[in-house]
A = this chain, B = another copy of it.
Amino acid sequence: MSSRIREQLLSLLLHNTDSFISGEEISRRLQCSRAAVWKQIEELRKEGYQIEARPKKGYRLVHRPDRVAPEELKPHLSTRRFGRRILYRQSLPSTQPLAHDWARQGAEEGALIITEEQTQGRGRMGRVWHSPPHSGIWMSLILRPPVPLAQAPQLTLLASVGLTRALRRETGLDIQIKWPNDLLIGRKKFCGILTETRGEQDRVQYVVLGTGINVNVSGTHWPDELKDTATSLMIEGKRSYRRADLIAAILKELEELYDGYLSHGFEPIRILWEEYAGMLGRNVRTLTPRGPVEGTAVGLDGSGALLLRQGEEVIPVFSADIDY
């Protein structure tokens, strides 16, 4: 009850920042008591919202903290499904296991698990992914694509495209995709995508699409090796970004691409992907589970494998540690 009131209250305040809105007006529109309004104003202030109160005039939102709580996200969402159900925590070991649990219990497609901080964030192959509080986007999205299990890896590529397009538009930065699941600015990584799939026989039951995006990470505490390979939107853009705005843009872009994927398949995604992949035409060295493979990156095949040209041959490469 109180979270509904809080979401609606914040939405009202967010849409009325130019003028004051009276406690009576708020109470009428939210269909709750003045006391309830006052209580939620206080709760919001505790969360860092600066709300000016003037006698006879009412309330006005002066400053919003950068939070990813549902009341911050929902006013900006223009999606039909993605982000309509949100599970939010201040801190989690990691969003992925919770997303799996929720998916197994039947959470619908588009359900989002998001946290301010991960204490045990993980990338591919169990590698550590640092997820400090209030400075990045650490979230997992539940998808239920009615496709064969073999096509599940295409969701990673779709997500790479969606995140790239949304963040390019929002930040103006030159974001590029590095196969299989990284986003770079320059040659440094600021975002990773992790796709975990559950299948029955040859069908997908669900996909948990996880992403970690360094937004306002300053990197000052990073060890030198990390400073050579990692970055953030703030470092590259020399400003901070409001994460809720980025998330709304990301979810909108992902939902559009995903609906297109379900209708038209992977080919349109593949074409977009090749546009944003900075590695095409370059020599790449990969260390695959089958051993080292080297060649010129020439594109993706229909299933999402990276194609490397070695002389006359073109070889598909699956998940690998790639180096170029």
Least distance between A238 CB and chain B CB atoms (Å): 33
Decide if A286 is an interface residue (CB 8 Å cutoff): no
List of B residues within 8 angstroms of A120 by Cβ: none
Q: A149-B149, A153-B149, A318-B148 are in contact. Are A181 and B201 (CB under 8 A)?
A: yes
Contacts of A196 in B (CB 8 A): 198-200, 205
Beyond A197-B199, A199-B199, 16 additional pairs, beta carbon < 8 A: A124-B200, A125-B200, A146-B289, A148-B318, A149-B150, A149-B153, A150-B150, A152-B199, A152-B202, A153-B202, A156-B201, A180-B201, A181-B201, A196-B199, A202-B305, A203-B318
A203 to B194, CA, bound (A): 12
Taking A149-B149, A152-B149, A153-B149 as contacts, is the C-beta distance between A198 and B201 under 8 angstroms? no
Residues of A within 8 A of B (CB): 124-125, 146, 148-150, 152-153, 156, 180-181, 194-203, 205, 289, 303-305, 318-319
- A319, B198: Cβ atoms under 8 Å? no
Residues of B within 8 A of A195 (CB): 200-201
Contacting residues, chain B, for A125 (C-beta < 8 A):
200
Which residue of the partner chain B has the closest CB to A122?
B200
A304 to chain B, nearest CB (A): 7
CB of B318 within 8 A of CB of A202, answer yes
A119 to B172, CA, bound (A): 57
A-B pairs with the 5 shortest C-beta distances?
A: A150-B150, A153-B202, A197-B199, A201-B319, A202-B318
> Which residues of the partner chain B approach A197 to less than 8 Å between Cβ atoms?
149, 197-200
Q: Would you give the shortest CB distance from A43 to chain B, in whole angstroms?
A: 37
Minimum C-beta distance from A102 to chain B (A): 15
CB distance from A145 to the nearest CB of B (A): 12
Number of this chain's copies in the assembly equals 2
Query: Which residues from B are CB-within-8-Å of A146?
Result: 289
CB pair A202–B149 under 8 Å, yes or no, is: no
Distance of A303 Cα from B202 Cα, bound (Å): 10
Picked from B149, B180, B305, the residue with its CB within 8 Å of the CB of A199 is B149
Q: Quick one: closest B residue to A125, CB to CB?
A: B200
Which of A153, A201, A304, A319: most chain B CB closer than 10 A? A201
Contacting residues, chain B, for A156 (C-beta < 8 A): 201
A304: chain B residues within 8 A (beta carbon): 202
Residue on B nearest A148 in the bound complex, by CB: B318
Q: Which residues does chain B contribute within 8 Å of A194, judged by CB atoms? A: 200-201
Q: How far is the CA of A153 from the CA of B200 in the complex (A)?
A: 9
With a CB–CB cut-off of 8 A, which chain B residues contact A303?
Answer: 150
Find the residue from A181, A202, A319 having the highest chain B CB count within 10 A.
A202
CA distance A124 to B305 in the complex (A): 29
Least Cβ–Cβ distance between A62 and chain B, in angstroms: 45
Q: How far is the CA of A180 from the CA of B194 in the complex (A)?
A: 30
Interface centre among A124, A125, A319 (most CB of B within 10 A): A319
